[in-house]
Amino acid sequence: MSININNINNINNIKNINNINNFYNQGIGSFLLKKIHSDMLIDALKEEVWVENDGNKNVFCSDNEFLSLPDWMYKAHDTSTNTGADTNPYLNEYEKEFTIKQNIKNLTPKIYFDYFSILFNSPYILGIDKLFHSKITVNSIALWNGVGDFNWHWDGPGNDDIYALVYLSDYKKWPRKFGAGLEYGTAQMSEQGYKNIKQKGVLYPDNGRIIIGENRNPLWVHRTQHYSEQALNDKINRFTFLVTMKLTSLLPIARLPDY
């Protein structure tokens, strides 16, 4: 599998035309990849070995409509189950997610880390790295084809600062009548979980669409919009990358004075 790294580096020549206000006011922002850069990912996807949904509940959860996974994602989830990582009663939610992410990280093709590390440290994405005088480090990458049916949640258990969803679809503009967009909103906490959820908007998986979310506020939540059977057509490709990231300060570490 290969992506021309020199072409990725050209991303840095693009001027930042995105507005950072939505990201900090609503916890979410969105922009479109240039075709030359989305085509790089599409070419890489063509080289993947895809495993169709075979009903293996260890891998394909019953509440998701994934059509297929790349073989490295399939192996990572299957390994997590076989080692008991996701069923061990002595592991809390954070430890389970961390273990599964490590399995995926160890099997993810390096080229994706190279690509997204350059992409998310470029002027392409709102200038978040410059605002914090930080470097964005890609922690994990997941990939699937199809629709993930997720209820209201935040991605905090992974302990990442930022998440991004990168969509590649057979449709340049995803048909709104299909549904399956990403709804985002705000919530309040209760002992039973979230309450008083207010939906603020919806973003659709147009080809080349990137959604980037602030992941440090558990009251900024998102979910999969209700969708029709048309969204599950196995002849329609809807690839999704989930990329999680940390902000690493570029400032020198202050030293305590010697006494």
* Per-residue confidence (pLDDT) for residue 25, from 0 to 100: 81
User: Residue range 238-255: average pLDDT?
Assistant: 83
> Do the Cβ atoms of 178 and 140 come closer than 8 Å?
no
Is the pLDDT at 62 greater than 80? The verdict is no
Give Cα separations from 154 to 40, 146, 183, 202 (angstroms): 29, 21, 12, 15
Q: Residue 113, Cβ neighbours under 10 Å: how many?
A: 17
Q: Which fold has domain 28-249?
A: Jelly Rolls (2.60.120)
Q: Count helices and strands (H / E) in the chain.
A: 7, 10
Domain definitions of the chain by residue range? 28-249
Lowest mean pLDDT across 89-98, 196-205, 215-224: 89-98
Residue 15's pLDDT band, with cuts at 50, 70 and 90, is very low
pLDDT tens for residues 20-36?
A: 777 778 888 888 888 88
| Paired residues of 29 in beta bridges | 212
* Per-residue confidence (pLDDT) for residue 236, from 0 to 100: 85
* Per-residue confidence (pLDDT) for residue 132, from 0 to 100: 66
User: Residue range 228-246: average pLDDT?
Assistant: 87
pLDDT tens for residues 217-232?
A: 889 999 999 888 888 7
User: Residue range 174-200: average pLDDT?
Assistant: 90
